[in-house]
Amino acid sequence: MKLIYLDTSNFSLLSKSKVSEQQNYISFVRKWKNSGYTLAFTVAHLDELLRLEFANERNTRFEILEDLLPFKFESKLMDKEILSAFIEKKVVEARFNDIDLFPQVFSQKISNSDDLELLKGFDFDGYRQIIDLYYSATKISWEANAQSTRKKTDKLPRLSDLPNEPMTPEMKQLMETSLENMKTELPKNFQNFPDEVIDLGQSFVADIMKTFVKKSDQSGFREAFSEFIGANTNDSKTLKNSINHLMENLWFNLFLDNFIEKFLKIDDVQKIQHLKSLINLKDCPGMWLSEQVKNQLKLAKDSKASNEKDIQHISYLPYVDVFFADGAIVDKTKQVFRKQGLIESLKYLSLPINVANNIESLKKALFA
């Protein structure tokens, strides 16, 4: 049984074919069933499906999923990778009362229409607004990356590249301008949210920025930034790290904190710090790969808001047999695989593939 990961563009193609090229679509589904393939469907796919504007488009996508039943679903990859790492380090026992605790990715099977209804249950306005909020936030982030003065050929900045002196008047003015832009852009991007929620978000960001400026005036910009992300500037190795790498460590540590508290039920600070010292991002191949691909996209100053979901998708590459992706993600993943420092667990994986946007090319890639 081969596990097949389709790109969102492939689902869009199948939707179009189902509506306007029915014989081609029927042929595709028949060949899929005869091949014995199993679809790998994830929470990233589901979120993109639910962001479709019109209900009939979402319904068509759910109909395709029903045509491809049974399939496998995954929504807890990060938790499973962290648990696997703790088991490998013998922090957590692999078995308990003859029960195998080692987590299997894509362990949930969607077998029939009743199972599919569980996924359809997320198709309501409240959840879709949360997805839109996340999309809008990432859109701003990726656009900011594209507008930076760094050239595409430049390396990502290191912590030591940051000036260790108070913010200049120009930098403070830039921050003020950013706040003013935020006041204009937030209501546009979050039209479905109450004014008080938007005002709260603006106040929260403004307070953070004001505190940052004050700290910068006291001890310098680099020190203020380092304190904000939890980096030790007294360590020469830390100073040589790229800011992106330090941010990776920051969010990974936040995931670890959450996992240790939620699953291991530990609240002792010293024990938590000890457990966090035992594993790092390289022990979690999907998360590590997604961060490396993100870095390559940032180096290329790629500004697509969809990058964030594409990065989430690529984290599943180690757990499937065939993985389809868009051209940019395929290219950046190949760059990661060519670089030194590729982690051992990824060295023998099949690379993702990209196909032309027509049903015949998809059929050829899958069934030839």
Provide the residue ranges of all domains of the chain, joining segments of one domain with +.
3-128+282-367, 161-237
CA 53 from centre of chain:
22
Residue 182 CB: number of other CB atoms within 10 A?
Answer: 18
What pLDDT, on the 0 to 100 scale, is given for residue 216?
83
Amino acid at 270: Q
What pLDDT, on the 0 to 100 scale, is given for residue 185?
65
Beta bridge partners of 100: 95
CB 10 within 8 A of CB 358: no
171/259 Cα distance (integer angstroms): 37
Which residue shows structure tokens 């395929």?
A: 330
163/241 Cα distance (integer angstroms): 15
What's the sign of the alpha-carbon dihedral 130, 134, 135, 136? positive
CB 257 within 8 A of CB 272: yes
CB 350 within 8 A of CB 323: yes
Which residue shows structure tokens 């430049």?
A: 154
Indicate the SS3 state at residue 341. Answer: coil
What pLDDT, on the 0 to 100 scale, is given for residue 189?
56
Angle of helix 43-50 versus helix 55-67 axis, rounded to 10 = 150
What pLDDT, on the 0 to 100 scale, is given for residue 211?
81
User: CB under 8 Å to 317, separation ≥6 — which residues?
Assistant: 5, 286, 289, 323, 333, 349, 352
CB 288 within 8 A of CB 344: no
Which residue shows structure tokens 């949360």?
A: 130
- Mean pLDDT of each 10-residue bin along the chain, 368 residues long: 94 94 93 95 94 92 97 94 91 70 88 94 79 65 55 64 81 76 65 65 72 83 76 76 74 86 85 89 94 87 75 96 95 93 93 93 92
Which residue shows structure tokens 């993702």?
A: 352
* Token pair listed for 284: 């979690």
User: pTM for the full model?
Assistant: 0.79
Residue 319 CB: number of other CB atoms within 10 A?
Answer: 22
CB 296 within 8 A of CB 317: no
